[in-house]
Amino acid sequence: MDNYMNYPYEKIKKFCEDAFEKFGFNKEEARIITDVLLLSDLFGIESHGTQRLVRYHKSIEKGMIKVDAKPETVFETPVSAVIDAKDGMGQVVAYRAMELAIEKARKVGMAFVTVRNSNHYGIAGYYAKMASDQGLIGISTTNTNPIMVPTYGRKAMLGTNPIAIAFPAEPYPFLFDASTTVVTRGKLEVYNKLDKPLHDGWAIDATGNGSTDAANVLRCINDHLGGGILPLGGISEDTGSHKGYGWGMVAELFTSIVSLGTTSDKTGSGGKGGICHGFFVMDPAICGDPDAIKAHLSAYLKELRDAPKAEGQTRIYTHGEKEVFAMQDRLKNGINVNINTVAEMRDMAQYLGMDVVAYLGEEALSIKGKESVYK
């Protein structure tokens, strides 16, 4: 892989933790942020890992993310809490919110915690997995900057609005983590770089007509001309567009609506992120023997994997399986980081007064990279 450099997981972890401490987070906060970011890289979801470091840095510099924010619980019951993140780092407040939901669910059987005035929190699945790692059922969702156009509209009114659900199972948990758009913006950017036409049903231009022209769609989005990405289900009700739009709304309900926070269409305005999250935890023990429930799901997941395959296909995956394999591979063989990202990390290290060679190796010094935001 010519355009990638390989680093052991521990090395990137050390870099990220130290960098976030230099940005002003305390040791535990830096650990949490790093853990969320790198789970994405370990899972093979390159878009949400180290690739995003620059974006977080820029948001901190602009004051959109406040390093010293003191999130406040503004409403609380034994089964719930509403937290005002006070523009803090998404990962930090989300981690605390999920911890609180787990603590409450352990006592009452289930709990819901919602967060407003936050920022992007990384992959939704991380927080759902926090619950399943402890034998609980976890759901995590967030709204995002507007990019989803509602069915028959031409202006983005919802975010990618991912929802993640984790459920304990053997040999690995069920972990479903998906945007409610048909694809994410990253996919459009990849197709644009490759000069490939987009799939039908992925995006619309400023007129609201379907478009396969990635460059044009991205320009429409960036210049706020209209257009955007379609809901899961594509452009028409015939292919279920209204269903993806409905799931996007469900994410909105359990984030911005119940928290009285900022709906996706108004996020990012006035220099504020305004992102909202929702976390739900259920202890399977409220339905019976958790081991029996886990065994029942594990057997069903195995049946699904063993079910007859379509002609030309060799595997049926269950959700979270690919991520487990990717993680095993990367923990053993290291993480391949795109050289543009390495260049960004190098420039960030220099900006923060970190020793580039010690953290990223001699080679990192000579990478050209894209035009750096640090120059």
If one asks whether residue 224 binds a second copy (CB under 8 A), the answer comes out as no
Q: How far is the CB of 289 from a second copy (least distance, A)?
A: 8
If one asks whether residue 137 binds a second copy (CB under 8 A), the answer comes out as yes
Cβ nearer to a second copy, comparing 65 with 113:
113
Cβ nearer to a second copy, comparing 68 with 306:
306
Total number of residues that touch a second copy (CB under 8 A) = 81
Closest CA to 158 of 60, 252, 70: 252
Which region among 9-17, 75-83, 84-92, 332-340 touches a second copy (by CB under 8 A)?
A: 75-83
Cβ nearer to a second copy, comparing 152 with 325:
152
Q: How far is the CB of 171 from a second copy (least distance, A)?
A: 17
Cβ nearer to a second copy, comparing 78 with 270:
78
Closest CA to 155 of 257, 245, 238, 265: 265
Which region among 18-26, 51-59, 77-85, 329-337 touches a second copy (by CB under 8 A)?
A: 77-85
> Binding to a second copy (CB under 8 A): which residues in 32-51?
none
Which region among 49-57, 95-103, 120-128, 290-298 touches a second copy (by CB under 8 A)?
A: 290-298
List all residues 6 or more positions away from 127 whose beta carbon is below 8 Å from its beta carbon: 94, 95, 97, 98, 121, 138, 140, 164, 277, 279
Which region among 11-19, 123-131, 198-206, 335-343 touches a second copy (by CB under 8 A)?
A: 198-206
If one asks whether residue 72 binds a second copy (CB under 8 A), the answer comes out as no
Phi/psi of residue 287, nearest 5 degrees = -115, 0
List all residues 6 or more positions away from 310 whose beta carbon is below 8 Å from its beta carbon: none
Pairwise CA distance, residues 99 & 170, whole Å: 23
Phi/psi of residue 117, nearest 5 degrees = 55, 45
DSSP strand pairing (335-338 vs 80-84): unpaired
> Binding to a second copy (CB under 8 A): which residues in 158-197?
165, 167, 174, 176, 178, 182-183
Cβ nearer to a second copy, comparing 122 with 284:
284
List all residues 6 or more positions away from 118 whose beta carbon is below 8 Å from its beta carbon: 85, 87, 88, 90, 93, 94, 273, 275, 276, 277
If one asks whether residue 114 binds a second copy (CB under 8 A), the answer comes out as yes
Pairwise CA distance, residues 347 & 365, whole Å: 9
- Which of 84, 252, 323, 347 forms a contact with a second copy (CB under 8 A)? 252
If one asks whether residue 109 binds a second copy (CB under 8 A), the answer comes out as yes
> Cα–Cα distances in Å, from 167 out to 105, 340, 347, 358?
15, 36, 40, 40
Which region among 39-47, 56-64, 317-325, 333-341 touches a second copy (by CB under 8 A)?
A: 317-325
If one asks whether residue 214 binds a second copy (CB under 8 A), the answer comes out as no
If one asks whether residue 309 binds a second copy (CB under 8 A), the answer comes out as yes
Q: Which residues pair with 116 in a beta bridge?
A: 84
Pairwise CA distance, residues 356 & 348, whole Å: 9
Q: How far is the CB of 18 from a second copy (least distance, A)?
A: 37
Q: How far is the CB of 194 from a second copy (least distance, A)?
A: 14
If one asks whether residue 112 binds a second copy (CB under 8 A), the answer comes out as yes
Please say whether the beta carbons of 278 and 140 come within 8 A.
yes
